[in-house]
A and B are shown apart, each in its own frame.
Chain A
C-alpha cells in the first residue's frame, strides 16, 4: 500500500504525532499535557508556514 501526501499534509501528520508524544511525555498532568501538545503542534505547523514563506520570498 502506497500513498502520496502533499508536503503540507505530511508536515501536519508529522506535527500531530510528534506533538502527541511530546505532550504526554514532557508534562506531568493532563491539562499541561494538552497545553504543551497544542503548543508543539502550533510551533511545528507554524514553523513550516514561516519557512515556506521565507523560501518563497528568497525565490522572488
Chain B
C-alpha cells in the first residue's frame, strides 16, 4: 500500500511536468513552424520531415517570386486581395522578408507572373498545414 502511495505521489509531479512540457511545445511548435517553415518539426527532432517541408515551402515561395508573382500587402479592399494577403502571410518570415526587400511587385504583362502569385499564396497555405502538423506532433496525436 505504501508502495502504491509512493508511486502515485512521486508520479504526480512528473506527470504534471510532462503535461506542462507538452502544452509549452503545443504553443511553441506551430508558432515556430509558421515563422520559419520546418522549424516546428526541427524543435521536435523530426529532422527529415522538417527539412522536406522547409524545402517544399521555400522552393514554392521563391519560384513564385522568380516568376514575378505578386506579394499582397495588408489591405482592406477587394475580398480576393484580402484572401491573397491571408495566404501570403502564412509563409511567416518569408513574407516579412519579401515585403521588407520590396520583392513581389508583380507583373501583369506576363502570364506566368500570375502563376507566381498563386505559388506564393499556396506556399503560405502549405506552411500553415505544416504548422498544424507540428502542433499535432506536439500534442501526441501524431508520431
Give residues in A with beta carbon < 8 Å to B.
Answer: 1-5, 10, 13-14, 16-18, 20-22, 24-25, 28-29
Contact = CB atoms under 8 A, between A and B. Distances in A.
Contacts of A24: 49, 52-53, 130, 133
- Taking chain A's interface residues, is the majority helix, strand, or loop, or is none over half, making it mixed? helix
Interface in B44-79: 49, 52-53, 55-57, 59-60, 63, 66-68
A13 B66 contact: no
Contacts of A2: 66-68
Nearest to B58: A17
B143 interface: yes
Given A24-B53, A28-B142, A13 B129 contact: no
Contacts of A3: 66-67
A21 B49 CA distance: 9
B139 to A, nearest CB: 14
Given A24-B133, A25-B132, A10 B115 contact: yes
21 contacts: A2-B66, A5-B115, A10-B112, A10-B115, A10-B119, A13-B119, A14-B60, A14-B119, A16-B56, A17-B56, A17-B57, A17-B59, A17-B60, A17-B126, A18-B56, A18-B60, A18-B126, A20-B53, A21-B57, A22-B129, A24-B53
